[in-house]
Amino acid sequence: MTHLNETDKAYLLNSIRDIEDFPKPGIIFKDITTLLGDEKAFNFLLDHLSTRYENQEIDYIAGIESRGFIFGAALAARLRKRFVPIRKPGKLPYTTISEKYSLEYGVDEVAIHIDAFSSLGTHKPKVLLIDDLIATGGTATAAVKLINKAGAHCIEACFIINLTFLQGDLDIKKTTPVYSVLEV
Ligand SMILES: O=P(O)(O)OC[C@H]1O[C@H](OP(=O)(O)OP(=O)(O)O)[C@H](O)[C@@H]1O
Ligand SMILES: Nc1ncnc2[nH]cnc12
Protein backbone atom coordinates (compact mmCIF):
# COMPACT_ATOMS: atom_id res chain seq x y z
CA MET A 1 0.00 0.00 0.00
CA THR A 2 1.28 3.47 -0.92
CA HIS A 3 -0.28 5.27 2.02
CA LEU A 4 -0.01 4.10 5.61
CA ASN A 5 -2.87 5.04 7.92
CA GLU A 6 -2.47 5.70 11.63
CA THR A 7 -3.26 2.05 12.50
CA ASP A 8 -0.57 0.81 10.08
CA LYS A 9 1.96 3.24 11.56
CA ALA A 10 1.07 2.27 15.13
CA TYR A 11 1.49 -1.40 14.15
CA LEU A 12 5.00 -0.77 12.79
CA LEU A 13 5.98 1.53 15.65
CA ASN A 14 4.87 -1.10 18.18
CA SER A 15 7.16 -3.64 16.51
CA ILE A 16 10.16 -1.41 17.36
CA ARG A 17 11.46 -1.63 20.93
CA ASP A 18 12.50 1.42 22.96
CA ILE A 19 15.60 0.94 25.11
CA GLU A 20 16.11 3.68 27.66
CA ASP A 21 19.58 5.08 28.40
CA PHE A 22 21.35 3.25 25.54
CA PRO A 23 24.12 3.84 24.56
CA LYS A 24 24.21 6.83 26.97
CA PRO A 25 22.00 8.16 29.75
CA GLY A 26 19.11 10.22 28.36
CA ILE A 27 18.95 8.50 24.94
CA ILE A 28 15.90 6.40 24.05
CA PHE A 29 17.33 3.93 21.53
CA LYS A 30 14.97 2.72 18.80
CA ASP A 31 15.78 -0.99 18.59
CA ILE A 32 14.77 -2.26 15.14
CA THR A 33 15.88 -5.86 15.85
CA THR A 34 12.34 -6.56 17.15
CA LEU A 35 10.88 -5.38 13.83
CA LEU A 36 13.35 -7.59 11.92
CA GLY A 37 12.47 -10.52 14.17
CA ASP A 38 8.77 -10.18 13.34
CA GLU A 39 8.36 -11.49 9.79
CA LYS A 40 4.86 -10.01 9.42
CA ALA A 41 5.98 -6.50 10.44
CA PHE A 42 9.19 -6.67 8.37
CA ASN A 43 7.29 -7.79 5.26
CA PHE A 44 4.53 -5.24 5.87
CA LEU A 45 7.22 -2.52 5.86
CA LEU A 46 8.89 -3.94 2.73
CA ASP A 47 5.50 -4.20 0.96
CA HIS A 48 4.90 -0.54 1.70
CA LEU A 49 8.34 0.57 0.51
CA SER A 50 8.13 -1.62 -2.61
CA THR A 51 4.77 -0.09 -3.54
CA ARG A 52 6.09 3.43 -2.95
CA TYR A 53 9.17 2.96 -5.13
CA GLU A 54 8.24 0.30 -7.72
CA ASN A 55 7.12 2.81 -10.36
CA GLN A 56 9.81 5.41 -9.71
CA GLU A 57 12.90 5.69 -11.87
CA ILE A 58 15.66 4.32 -9.65
CA ASP A 59 18.97 2.84 -10.80
CA TYR A 60 20.57 2.18 -7.41
CA ILE A 61 19.56 1.84 -3.78
CA ALA A 62 22.28 3.04 -1.38
CA GLY A 63 22.18 1.97 2.27
CA ILE A 64 24.12 3.51 5.16
CA GLU A 65 26.16 1.21 7.43
CA SER A 66 25.02 -0.75 9.23
CA ARG A 67 21.29 -0.78 9.81
CA GLY A 68 20.66 0.94 6.48
CA PHE A 69 22.18 -2.14 4.80
CA ILE A 70 19.40 -4.35 6.15
CA PHE A 71 16.48 -2.33 4.80
CA GLY A 72 18.29 -1.08 1.70
CA ALA A 73 19.48 -4.49 0.53
CA ALA A 74 16.11 -6.15 1.25
CA LEU A 75 14.29 -3.46 -0.77
CA ALA A 76 16.87 -3.58 -3.59
CA ALA A 77 16.38 -7.35 -3.90
CA ARG A 78 12.58 -6.98 -4.00
CA LEU A 79 12.73 -4.23 -6.63
CA ARG A 80 15.54 -5.96 -8.55
CA LYS A 81 17.76 -2.87 -8.23
CA ARG A 82 21.51 -2.58 -7.65
CA PHE A 83 22.57 -2.07 -4.04
CA VAL A 84 25.46 0.20 -2.98
CA PRO A 85 26.87 0.28 0.58
CA ILE A 86 27.87 3.61 2.13
CA ARG A 87 30.35 2.66 4.84
CA LYS A 88 32.30 3.98 7.80
CA PRO A 89 35.92 4.87 6.86
CA GLY A 90 38.53 2.17 6.34
CA LYS A 91 36.05 -0.59 5.48
CA LEU A 92 35.77 -0.48 1.69
CA PRO A 93 38.62 -2.26 -0.11
CA TYR A 94 38.82 -0.35 -3.43
CA THR A 95 39.49 3.39 -4.03
CA THR A 96 36.99 5.48 -2.08
CA ILE A 97 35.71 9.01 -1.80
CA SER A 98 34.51 10.24 1.55
CA GLU A 99 32.62 13.00 3.31
CA LYS A 100 33.20 14.20 6.87
CA TYR A 101 30.45 15.44 9.15
CA SER A 102 30.22 16.92 12.64
CA LEU A 103 29.00 15.03 15.66
CA GLU A 104 28.08 16.51 19.04
CA TYR A 105 31.76 16.01 19.90
CA GLY A 106 34.26 15.55 17.08
CA VAL A 107 33.83 14.40 13.49
CA ASP A 108 32.83 11.24 11.66
CA GLU A 109 33.03 10.18 8.04
CA VAL A 110 31.20 8.11 5.44
CA ALA A 111 32.81 6.56 2.38
CA ILE A 112 31.81 5.02 -0.94
CA HIS A 113 33.67 3.26 -3.75
CA ILE A 114 34.67 5.76 -6.42
CA ASP A 115 33.02 3.63 -9.14
CA ALA A 116 29.90 2.73 -7.13
CA PHE A 117 27.54 4.35 -9.64
CA SER A 118 28.58 3.47 -13.14
CA SER A 119 27.30 5.86 -15.79
CA LEU A 120 24.10 4.68 -17.49
CA GLY A 121 24.02 6.02 -21.04
CA THR A 122 22.83 9.60 -21.14
CA HIS A 123 21.40 10.15 -17.68
CA LYS A 124 23.02 10.57 -14.28
CA PRO A 125 22.41 7.45 -12.19
CA LYS A 126 19.35 7.92 -9.95
CA VAL A 127 19.86 6.80 -6.38
CA LEU A 128 17.43 6.13 -3.53
CA LEU A 129 19.18 6.55 -0.17
CA ILE A 130 17.96 4.43 2.76
CA ASP A 131 18.75 4.36 6.46
CA ASP A 132 16.85 3.01 9.44
CA LEU A 133 16.76 6.28 11.36
CA ILE A 134 17.50 9.99 11.07
CA ALA A 135 18.45 11.74 14.31
CA THR A 136 20.61 14.90 13.95
CA GLY A 137 20.84 14.22 10.20
CA GLY A 138 24.64 14.44 10.05
CA THR A 139 25.12 10.94 8.63
CA ALA A 140 22.41 11.20 5.99
CA THR A 141 23.35 14.74 4.90
CA ALA A 142 26.93 13.56 4.35
CA ALA A 143 25.66 10.49 2.48
CA VAL A 144 23.60 12.65 0.08
CA LYS A 145 26.70 14.81 -0.57
CA LEU A 146 28.72 11.66 -1.20
CA ILE A 147 26.20 10.36 -3.75
CA ASN A 148 26.46 13.68 -5.62
CA LYS A 149 30.28 13.66 -5.39
CA ALA A 150 30.24 10.17 -6.90
CA GLY A 151 28.45 11.57 -9.96
CA ALA A 152 24.93 10.38 -9.19
CA HIS A 153 21.64 12.06 -8.26
CA CYS A 154 19.86 11.27 -4.99
CA ILE A 155 16.15 11.19 -5.92
CA GLU A 156 14.97 10.73 -2.30
CA ALA A 157 16.30 9.97 1.18
CA CYS A 158 14.12 7.40 2.94
CA PHE A 159 14.12 6.59 6.66
CA ILE A 160 12.07 4.11 8.63
CA ILE A 161 12.12 6.41 11.69
CA ASN A 162 12.57 10.17 11.87
CA LEU A 163 13.23 11.64 15.32
CA THR A 164 11.46 14.84 14.26
CA PHE A 165 12.23 16.85 17.41
CA LEU A 166 15.89 16.94 16.27
CA GLN A 167 14.92 18.40 12.86
CA GLY A 168 17.71 16.38 11.26
CA ASP A 169 16.02 16.45 7.85
CA LEU A 170 16.11 20.26 7.44
CA ASP A 171 19.46 20.39 5.61
CA ILE A 172 18.74 17.45 3.31
CA LYS A 173 15.34 18.89 2.37
CA LYS A 174 17.08 21.93 0.86
CA THR A 175 18.30 19.73 -2.00
CA THR A 176 16.55 16.36 -1.79
CA PRO A 177 13.06 15.02 -1.01
CA VAL A 178 12.83 13.17 2.31
CA TYR A 179 10.39 10.37 3.13
CA SER A 180 10.04 9.00 6.66
CA VAL A 181 7.77 6.01 7.25
CA LEU A 182 7.38 6.82 10.97
CA GLU A 183 7.75 10.19 12.65
CA VAL A 184 8.51 10.06 16.35
O1 LIG B 1 21.14 11.40 12.13
P2 LIG B 1 22.41 11.05 12.89
O3 LIG B 1 22.52 11.83 14.18
O4 LIG B 1 23.62 11.18 12.04
O5 LIG B 1 22.26 9.55 13.38
C6 LIG B 1 21.67 8.54 12.61
C7 LIG B 1 22.63 7.42 12.35
O8 LIG B 1 23.00 6.81 13.60
C9 LIG B 1 22.72 5.41 13.53
O10 LIG B 1 23.82 4.70 13.07
P11 LIG B 1 25.11 4.38 13.94
O12 LIG B 1 26.16 5.42 13.65
O13 LIG B 1 24.67 4.23 15.36
O14 LIG B 1 25.63 3.03 13.32
P15 LIG B 1 25.01 1.54 13.23
O16 LIG B 1 23.86 1.59 12.23
O17 LIG B 1 26.16 0.76 12.71
O18 LIG B 1 24.56 1.13 14.60
C19 LIG B 1 21.60 5.30 12.53
O20 LIG B 1 21.51 4.00 11.97
C21 LIG B 1 21.95 6.34 11.51
O22 LIG B 1 22.86 5.85 10.52
N1 LIG C 1 17.68 7.22 19.38
C2 LIG C 1 18.30 6.43 18.48
N3 LIG C 1 17.90 5.15 18.33
C4 LIG C 1 18.51 4.35 17.42
N5 LIG C 1 19.52 4.75 16.65
C6 LIG C 1 19.94 6.01 16.77
N7 LIG C 1 20.92 6.70 16.12
C8 LIG C 1 20.94 7.95 16.62
N9 LIG C 1 20.01 8.11 17.57
C10 LIG C 1 19.37 6.91 17.68
Each residue's pLDDT tens digit, 4-15 = 999 999 999 999
Do 141 and 159 meet the contact criterion of CB atoms below 8 Å apart?
no
**Domain definitions of the chain by residue range:** 6-183
pLDDT classification of 104: cutoffs 50, 70, 90: confident
**Widest pairwise Cα distance in the chain:** 51
The hierarchical CATH code for the domain 6-183 is 3.40.50.2020
pLDDT of res. 10:
98
Best probe residue, ligand 1, of 16, 31, 131 (max atoms within 8 Å of C-beta): 131
How far is ligand 1, taken at its centre, from the CA of residue 45, in Å?
20
Cα dist from 58 to 16, 61, 151, 152, 183, whole Å? 28, 7, 15, 11, 24
Does residue 120 register a pLDDT over 80? no
pLDDT of res. 155:
98
Ligand 2 neighbours by CB, cut-off 6 Å: 27-30, 133, 135
The atom of ligand 2 lying closest to the CA of 32 is 4
How far is ligand 2, taken at its centre, from the CA of residue 53, in Å?
25
Task: Point out the ligand nearest to the CA of residue 102.
Answer: 1
Ranking 30-34, 45-49, 60-64, 117-121 by mean pLDDT, the lowest is: 117-121
Query: What are the pLDDT digits (tens) for 65-91?
Result: 999 999 999 999 999 999 999 999 999
Does residue 44 register a pLDDT over 90? yes
Residue with the smallest CA separation from ligand 2 atom 9 is 135
State residue 18 phi and psi, 5-degree precision: -95, 130
pLDDT of res. 121:
73
Cα dist from 53 to 9, 86, 125, 129, whole Å? 18, 20, 16, 12
